[in-house]
Amino acid sequence: MKKIYSVTVLFVSAFTFIISSCATPASIVAKSGAQLWGENCQRCHILPSPESFDSHDWSIVGTHMKIKAGLTETEEEKIVTFLKSSK
């Protein structure tokens, strides 16, 4: 069992290192918060209105949704910034 745990930890570490080394294409970097909001939120539910939460609450809800939907850090930041600015 200890061997499985060790292999798992090693795999996760290597995986994280490889991912963090990947370059992101310009077309992805150029995506706006509005575009990411449209693409990602609708995968599970209807698009939420920016008025649903106040600015500070959106950063908390954004963290919740990042975990739930497996969003990237950049996606979460851009979507939350867009929702805050659209009120």
Partner 1 sequence: MLGIVLSSSCIIAQEAVTEKNNDKSEGAEHSKFVLAGFAYTGFTQMDNQTSNFGPTGFNPIFLWKKSDKLFFEAEMSVEMSDGVANYDLEYATIHYKLCNYLDISAGKFLSPFGIFNDRIHPSWINKFADKPLGFNDMNSMIGPMSEIGVEFGGGAQIGKSKINYVCYVSNGPTLSTDSMMGGMLMYSNTNDNNDNKAIGGRIGFLPFQNSSLEIGMSGQVAKVGDKTSDLYRNIGTQLMACDLSYFHKLDFIKSNLDIKAQMNMVNVDKAVKYPLNMPGMDSTFDNKSKAFFIQLAVRPAYIENHFIKNLEFAVRYSMMKLPEAAMWGGDYDKITVGVNYWLTWHSVLKFDYQVNNRKGQDSKSGFLIQWGIGF
Give the dihedral of Cα atoms 74, 24, 22, 58; nearest 10 deg. Answer: 10
DSSP states of 50-86: GGGS-HHHHHHHHHHHHHHHT--HHHHHHHHHHHHHT
Q: Identify residue 74 by its one-letter amino acid code.
A: T
Residue of 2, 3, 30, 54 interacting with partner 1 (CB under 8 A): 54
By CB under 8 A, tell whether 60 contacts partner 1.
yes
By CB under 8 A, tell whether 47 contacts partner 1.
yes
By CB under 8 A, tell whether 16 contacts partner 1.
yes
Residue of 6, 10, 15, 32 interacting with partner 1 (CB under 8 A): 15
By CB under 8 A, tell whether 43 contacts partner 1.
yes
By CB under 8 A, tell whether 3 contacts partner 1.
no
Residue with the two structure tokens 């090693």: 10
Min CB(81)–partner 1 separation in Å: 14
